[in-house]
Structure 1
Amino acid sequence: MSPDRRTEIALFRYTLILPLIRGEYPPGGKEKLRRQIVSRPYDIPYSSRRSISTTTLARWERIYQECGFDGLKPRPRSDQGACRAISPETLDRAETLKREQPLRSARSIIRILSLDKTNPIPEPCIAPRTLRRQLAHRGATAAQLLAEQRPKPYRRFERSHFGDLWQGDAMHGPYLPDPADPERQRQVFLFAFLDDHSRLIPHAQFFWNEQLPRMEDCFKRAILRYGRPLSVYVDQGSVYKADQFNTLCAYLGIQRILGTPYYPEGRGKIERFFQFVQSDFLPELPRSSVTTLRQLNESLLAWIEVVYHTKCHSETGQAPLERFRQDSAPTTRPVEPQELRQAFLHRATRKVTKTATFSFHNNRYRVPDYLRGQAVELRYDPFDLTQIEVWFNDAFLHLAEPDTIVTTSHPDVTPDPVPPSEPDSGLDYLALLRAERERLIQEQLDAIHFSHLEPSDQKETHDHPQ
């Protein structure tokens, strides 16, 4: 089984045991919560089973407490699973028929496909139960499709303590002079995280692009300053839906909550913060001396701490900083620097060649001979591909030895623009001055003939004859 599949299964198990780990039950109600969790059917990744026992749930909880997220990954297996009962093409056609008319039953869909002689399906027989399960896995049941067509009710919500929930989002920012071409203007983008209870901003920062590593950098700085939240609520943007972000949240014990597509009302608090940025902070930029990204971020930080954090919020009746300081039981948790570093490392799988090397984005690295022919997991910082950790069966082995380095950053990372280098004459003026000083000293020394100088004792003899 590939590392990606094992991680997906571990994420499924982690989602089920999360209420048990966080203690979301009254005293003595843990077993009742277990029975409640296992009472539902589940689409278990890469398994034909639909149910889970309380014993299995308790075992997963115990393994997570003892071994962390890696312990939830299944052990490597040699089998590759069974063939699908329904071809992808047939399933696509069945899903189209279901979405056209959500009330169509699985039997009716099978009958329609069987009667279509112009484009016959390859399956001689399809079980209605199998088709229902596959459609449910694709989110195409009657209940799900009809729910999407109904208007949704909205209600206000607010968490009880700082760290219960952070909201994250991004906003298009102003234009700044491009460092690589000062005559050209280039847009920047703002990533921000907001605490749902206090409305305090753990961190916000402008970047030159909206790529995943930039969002992760903002999130990491927020955690370094205030600790890990219990959960983070984000939209369906590609950076937030990325498996890398979901995995790092699971490693840190943070629940990632994805918002409903096309319903931004659930992120109203951070959207209101962005509106305040646009109405109070950005209009001051044209009359300021801000011309660089660093100056912009320093100004944003000053505005957040001096203005936003001290301004009374109309919803809470308190300033965000005041509400944060008055919270007697914040739920953020500290994190060790090494644990935080491991969580934010990106992961990839490569097979070691017969020459004990592997290639990664045009670079070549060397590993010990005993890993030849093995599939290893690579953990790396996308900003620095010169150092790659080699892991095997969830155990760290060593750093890969760079053999040929073509690129030092991941292709998904667009480097920040830098000013063009000035023409270099190759002359070091201060070094020339030092050399000239040495030459002058040597000339002065050469002008002195030491052989013509009389010893001091002889001079005293001439001056005072006995």
Structure 2
Amino acid sequence: MSHRNARLTVHGRRILVERVLAGRPVAHVAAEMGISRPTAHKWVRRWRAEGDAGLLDRSSRPRTTPHRTPAVTEDEVCRLRTERKLGPARIGPILGLPASTVHRILVRHGLNRLAWLDRPTGEPVRRYERARPGELVHVDIKKLGNIPDGGGWRTVGRAAGEAHRQATTDARKSSKPVIGYSFVHSAVDDHSRLAYSEVLPDERQHTAAGFWQRANAFFTAHGITVQRVLTDNGSCYKARLFTRTLAATGITHKKIRPYRPQTNGKVERFNRTLLDEWAYQRPYHSNDERTRALADFLHTYNHHRSHTALGGHPPISRVNNPAGQYT
């Protein structure tokens, strides 16, 4: 339909034309179908001039816009946006334009959100997506501080938190207890966003290689054959062991350009979701409790959580297996 209140679909317009061609008065047919006589005459006239193609919806955009802002002015608005990162309220006074006009210009050129621009260069961010699952899998590691048994100071207060740290570990550095870190290894499919994660004790090459073998088995179980893996330039990924582990199953290893984490952006964004919806979602009273909660988060993320990049559907909806068989 042209809009949500339109009375007739293309099928309804065909019925209108058929009734008029059968010899019935246009006014009678219009009353039956709940539309005005001018509207009925319009569809009959279009059908006689163009056939069935005349019954399709048309754009309501005007053929000409004589009062549109000159192209030179629009170019200057875009230049101020990309070079100086100014908003409509700042650009308007500089060019003598209302802020609302500047905003419409930025929307028209896809520059209305700074998140869509690469901050250093001001160029629009180029987004890509592989055509099918398995063409590319993003892999990365997120470092998290461990939680002492009984809870950290954010959960139980500083005094109790310090006592829990003292009781949890014998490791000391300058007489202070060292709780250490956990390393969340994650793999995210580029097309479907299907994700697999594990909490592991380090980020060494043997740990990373073992993680990938289990992650690959996870994707295989979901009917996904991985062709390429993209990682950053961490030491565990630069090691020959990791590349050989991929090559053993016919997988190509790709590394991002140094200092360009945006290239691995899908797993970087997943790491942020991990923090918001799992690691920091609620207070945990031990590291084991937080680790156990990861499985529930991953199931929710893959099978139930709506993903804006997937039209509000969960990642499993883009995998070959039907979503209905998962609970």
TM-score normalised over the length of structure 2: 0.48
Bigger share in helix? 2
Structure label with greater radius of gyration: 1
Higher RCO structure, 1 or 2 (CA under 8 Å, sep 6+): 2
Bigger share in strand? 1
